[in-house]
Amino acid sequence: MKGKALSEGTGKNLVAVLLGHNVGPMADQLKGRTHKVIHIEDAKLENYNSEAYQKVLGNLVQQEKPLLLLIGHTAFGMDLAPSLATQIDSPIATDCIDVMVEPSQIKAMRQVYGGKLNVEIRLKPADQYIVTIRPASFSVEDYTLAGEIVTVASPLTEEIASKKFLEYVEAAAGEVDITQADILVSVGRGIKEQDNIPIVQELADSMGAALSCSRPVVDKKWLPKERQVGTSGKTVKPKLYIAIGISGAFQHVAGMKAAGTIIAINKDPKAPIFNSAHYGIVGDLFKIVPVLKEKAKEAFA
């Protein structure tokens, strides 16, 4: 959605670049979301290789001369973007949560001090820029563009000798992907002990929500790591986030502050979580949560 907004603001086309092998079906999906999909098909691109991807993208950027190249701030993006920026002599901003295009300048928003502050940075004037975007920074909205697919020949004429893909080693899948949930009920150290977790789980179940938590709950091994929200866990952006017994350390808030609506329940009226919440309830969670559960059963029935 952000790409579309930037395109409309600058009057430039939104172009997606798809590198890979046998990824034609994905190109078909992307064309309805962009003005153009540049599809580069090559068996050497089937698995990520920074040297191969940099060569292909560097060659493409020199041909297309885009104003702004957006790359996800993922493990691959963090590996690729800085070296690509050096190759094409482009200003770069990494791990951004927003980007703005002005007539003569690109600005970006980054978080500093572990998410305590948002800072606006201005990139020096240039013909093209690279910005890496933190996952879940923007909302997903439906729209349609009459895009086309343009197939471009791969510039890779020989094997990449310096780096070789071996295998993917994936972490064991958890029961729930909290990054995909529309509603999250999150629990913190205020739950006191593991035996009390079902109280909050029942509330989540009554709302069709996923259960997540803050770091202290994971440190005590009351819930698995894949349920943790925060800078050392996962960044989430649900429509509704209910924080129960969570004090609101900045590391946790950094992972959920972009939620559509935030409701906090804490017995301490000075808890930092209330600074981020749209609605707050000061009180004993063991008295409040059962009432909310019954109300949720009626509302979500």
Least confident segment among 157-166, 186-195, 223-232, 286-295: 157-166
| pLDDT value for 6 | 83
pLDDT-above-90 percentage for the chain: 63
- The tokens of 290 are what? 């059962």
Q: Is 218 helix (H, G, I), strand (E, B) or coil?
A: helix
Q: Is the predicted pLDDT of residue 8 greater than 90, yes or no?
A: no
| pLDDT value for 171 | 60
pLDDT band at 104 (very low <50, low <70, confident <90, very high): confident
Q: Determine the average pLDDT of the residues in 200-229.
A: 95
Backbone angles phi, psi at 205, to 5 degrees: -65, -40
Q: Given its phi and psi angles, is residue 245 left (phi above 0), alpha (psi -120 to 50 degrees) or beta? A: left
For residue range 114-137, what is the model confidence (pLDDT) as tens digits?
667 889 999 999 999 999 998 777
Q: Which alpha helices (DSSP H) does the chain contain, by range?
A: 2-10, 24-30, 50-64, 75-88, 197-207, 215-219, 250-256, 273-276, 285-299
Q: Is the predicted pLDDT of residue 4 greater than 90, yes or no?
A: no
For residue range 15-39, what is the model confidence (pLDDT) as tens digits?
999 999 998 889 888 888 889 999 9
Residue with token string 């906090």: 264
pTM: 0.73
Q: Mean pLDDT over all residues of the chain?
A: 89
pLDDT band at 75 (very low <50, low <70, confident <90, very high): confident
| pLDDT value for 285 | 95
- The tokens of 158 are what? 């020989």
For residue range 266-279, what is the model confidence (pLDDT) as tens digits?
999 999 999 999 99
Distance of CA 211 to the CA centre of its chain: 19
Distance of CA 37 to the CA centre of its chain: 22
Q: Determine the average pLDDT of the residues in 27-55.
A: 90
Beta-sheet strands, E only, within the chain:
15-20, 36-41, 68-72, 92-102, 105-112, 117-122, 129-133, 148-151, 183-187, 210-213, 240-244, 261-266, 279-282
For residue range 166-207, what is the model confidence (pLDDT) as tens digits?
887 766 656 788 998 999 999 999 999 999 999 999 999 999
Domains of the chain, with CATH numbers? 2-151 (3.40.50.620), 178-299 (3.40.50.1220)
- Report how far residue 225's alpha carbon sits from residue 270's, in angstroms, rounded to the nearest whole number: 28
The overall longest dimension of the chain from CA atoms, in Å, is: 68
